[in-house]
Amino acid sequence: MSSTTLIGQPTSRVDGAIKVTGAATYAGEFVVPGLAYGYVVNSPIAKGRITQVHSAEVLALPGVLAVFSHENRLPLPDDDNCYMDQLAPGGSPFRPLFDATIKFNMQPVALVVAETYELARYAAAVLRLDYEQEPHQTDLSKQRGAAFKAPHQANGFYDYPPSRGLPEQAWASATHRVAGDYAHPTQHHNPMETFATTVEWRGDGQLTVYDKTQGTFNSQQYICNVFNLKKENVQVHSYFVGGAFGLALRPNYQVPLAVMAALALKRSVRVTLTRQQMFSLSYRPLALQHVKLGTNPDGSLATLHHEALQATSQFEPYAETVTHWSGVLYRCDNVKLEHLLAPLDVMTPVSMRAPGPTSGLFALEVALDELAYETGLDPVELRLRSYADRNGLMDKPFSSKKLRECYQQAAARFGWAQRNPEPRSMRHGDLLVGWGMASGVWDSSQAEAGAQATLTADGKLTVVNGVNGDIGTGTATVICQIAAETLGLPLSAVTFRQGESTMPAAPVQGASWTAGSVGTAVQKVCRQLREQLLTLAQQLPDSPWRQAGPSEIEFTDGKLGLLGQPETQISFSEVLRAHRLPHLEAEVTASPDAKRQQQYSVNVHNAVFVEVQVDPVIGTVRVTRLVEGVAAGRILNPKTARNQVLGGMVWGIGAALMEETVMDHRFGRFMNHSLAEYHLPVNADIRELEVIFVEEEDDIVNPLGAKGVGEIGILGVSAAIANAVYHATGRRLRELPITRDKLL
């Protein structure tokens, strides 16, 4: 066994020095010879046709190389399957520059390519296009009649019965009842790095594509299918990703535009989107919801109804688990869940950090707070009375669930017991003080991943997997920790190489599953190297390890030896040199133990406690304290994991108080398409945030026992803030964001 204990240590990021010195290179920053610059032109109308592209005018400018539009694009397949990336929700994916049809406002309609960035930008600004405009519909509330049931296989949807028990009868006979309409607005991911793709033309149709992606292999597959290219001719590289949050799961339109320009011009091309163009991409869709809750005489939930109407595009039925979690989080025998989609003349939405429960649990957790006041029970006590020991939706036991401990530890840390439940009862000077709480649940899973490892005779280990570059989660750091601990090496002896499509496969980076999936493959490949090392050591003459079984051997600090007998140690280098081997190699694929995992519901849980201060005169809300308890299995690195959960909390504060993309239905366009008008939290908006990782063991989720923390952090936060605002002011707000105009 290995005696080092690197997994679980708060190790600083292995790529930290690269990032703080500006040496990390993102997709739009690769310097390649002969680079031309592409600039996208977007449609000013939401629906209709392009009637003319006045390309000649800008082509006359010296230095403008090309204007690509539907009129002169490269041949593209007329087959939806060719545009289906790994996360396509069905339907008919958008095909950039395919024809004259306009399907949504800010749809890309042309790409101008020039010798310099300034010239491409100028030429794009003056390129004229004429349109035939048709009436559009972008107002979800007016499309209810066109709504259809969300497909059950889309985006993590499970084909489970949407209802159980007798929800209508239980509602009629409930002891206490609450019902309300809730709205979660459209939100845009807005990673700090805008989307960019640099395509390096290597001659003879050979491309290296530096892409901002959450799926190296997904990008490669998409490019090959759309342009009918062979995989060996298209390498996708992704080393650092300046934030993504789901928006880079599917290839965005700058990918095919940049590739098309490179193929047509036979030279390297970069396309970088502006911040404004980021609002032409996918987003978290508006969710209009209705929740009804009724109790039994003992305060437990007798019935739970959750209906959602969510926007999607006219061409793809994107759905997310908005109502699903209401059937999971609490024990309730009479449940009715309904999720409808209505098509609008907009771009298709996509996953955005905890897609589904961020919208859905906001509604449920605010409704529960209303029920707490209705029943006179403390909000925590109310939740405990319906504590679920099984996943009622899937009718399966949880692999592990320490939500009760999350409530207890976070409440104690927060001082929840001191709360006077009476609204407007707590003050800090002139400010109203409110305390609120909520909780959340998210999936944990493992996907198949590969790993390759090379141990060289100098005792250095290189581990390789093609997962896209770090999106900020700290993947490389935890992978190095896992590899070093498994093989018995110091952390400094391990290098993780990632982000190239020629490397062993990785799933797209979403669903909080990368650490568990790639980490498991890395653990497995390092175990193979360990077996190889032991076998080689046992073949050496006079080997003291000859008769030892694997459990009697210790791997530590680059050496192996009999357990507890340091005098029997031999370094890995010596083993390799004795056999005249320059290196040892291994490659594996690690697959989830599906048969075992399918017997369980594997979930991560949290509980959130919030204090707000509200100015009763001008309606400003400040989140002054936030304590979150998280049960996420084994925490591989508390430093990076805490940071991810802190980020989720900041997202929850943004969702609660400021984030909303506003559609002007006259134009069918998101109007606040800048960071000055789409408000994100800044440093001064954030006060005390505290994360508590509750101890939880889980040997089902994956061999590492890690459930992932990328998404759980945001859940419950916006509802807890809305509940705290009610406690502070007596105003129950069921629509986010809680802006001062709604409070005054």
Partner 1 sequence: MNDDQDSPSTGQSTLPAASEITAAPAAFGKYRAPTRAAFGLTSPVETSSVHLTINGQPREFHLAPWTTLLDALRLYAGLMGTKKGCDHGQCGACTVLVNGTRINSCLTLAVMQQGQQITTIEGLGTATSLSALQQAFIDHDAFQCGYCTPGQICSAQGLLYEGKAHTEDEIREQMSGNLCRCGAYVNILAAVKEVVDAQTA
Residues 6 or more apart whose Cβ sits within 8 Å of residue 463:
451, 452, 453, 479, 480, 483, 494, 495, 496, 497, 522, 525, 526
User: Cβ 121 to partner 1, closest distance in Å?
Assistant: 5
Tokens matching residue 290: 């209705």
What is the rounded distance in angstroms from the CA atom of residue 185 to the CA atom of residue 643? 26
Cβ atoms within 10 A of the Cβ of 708, count? 28
Three-state SS across 424-468?
A: CCEEECCEEEEEEEEEEEEECCCCCEEEEEEEECCCCEEEEECCC
Nearer to partner 1, 149 or 666 (CB): 666
User: Cβ 272 to partner 1, closest distance in Å?
Assistant: 8
What is the rounded distance in angstroms from the CA atom of residue 52 to the CA atom of residue 54? 6
Place of tokens 């304290």: 625
User: Cβ 511 to partner 1, closest distance in Å?
Assistant: 18
What is the rounded distance in angstroms from the CA atom of residue 449 to the CA atom of residue 590? 6
Nearer to partner 1, 244 or 263 (CB): 244
User: Cβ 46 to partner 1, closest distance in Å?
Assistant: 10
Is residue 135 exposed (0-12), middle (13-18) or buried (19+ Cβ within 10 Å)? exposed
User: Cβ 676 to partner 1, closest distance in Å?
Assistant: 5
Q: How many residues does the chain have?
A: 744
Nearer to partner 1, 275 or 497 (CB): 275
For the chain, state the CA radius of gyration: 27
Is residue 451 exposed (0-12), middle (13-18) or buried (19+ Cβ within 10 Å)? buried
Nearer to partner 1, 124 or 293 (CB): 124
User: Cβ 479 to partner 1, closest distance in Å?
Assistant: 16
Nearer to partner 1, 115 or 405 (CB): 115
Nearer to partner 1, 268 or 323 (CB): 268
Catalytic member of 193, 307, 660, 711: 711
Q: With left for phi above 0 and alpha for psi between -120 and 50, is residue 11 left, alpha or beta?
A: beta
What is the rounded distance in angstroms from the CA atom of residue 706 to the CA atom of residue 631? 10
Cβ atoms within 10 A of the Cβ of 323, count? 32
Q: Which residues, in sequence order, are bridge partners of residue 307?
A: 290, 338
User: Cβ 153 to partner 1, closest distance in Å?
Assistant: 31
Three-state SS across 102-133?
A: ECCCCCEEEEEEECCHHHHHHHHHHCCEEEEE
What is the rounded distance in angstroms from the CA atom of residue 257 to the CA atom of residue 107? 13
The H-or-E segment that residue 308 falls in is: strand 301-313
Nearer to partner 1, 222 or 678 (CB): 678
Nearer to partner 1, 278 or 438 (CB): 278
In angstroms, the first-to-last Cα distance of the chain is: 63
Is position 711 annotated as part of the catalytic site? Answer: yes
φ/ψ of residue 326, rounded to 5: -65, -20
Residues 6 or more apart whose Cβ sits within 8 Å of residue 530:
486, 487, 488, 550, 555, 560
User: Cβ 654 to partner 1, closest distance in Å?
Assistant: 8
Strand runs (DSSP E) across 99-222, as ranges? Answer: 101-102, 108-114, 129-133, 148-149, 163-164, 177-184, 196-201, 207-211
User: Cβ 28 to partner 1, closest distance in Å?
Assistant: 8
Q: Which among 259, 250, 265 has a CA at the least distance from the CA of 208?
A: 259
User: Cβ 648 to partner 1, closest distance in Å?
Assistant: 7
Nearer to partner 1, 398 or 651 (CB): 651
Q: Which among 499, 687, 602, 730 has a CA at the least distance from the CA of 156?
A: 602
Sheet holding 494-498, edge to edge: 494-498, 461-465, 449-456, 583-590
Nearer to partner 1, 313 or 468 (CB): 468
Helix (H/G/I), strand (E/B), else coil: 321? coil
User: Cβ 268 to partner 1, closest distance in Å?
Assistant: 14
Nearer to partner 1, 417 or 676 (CB): 676
- Catalytic residue set: 711
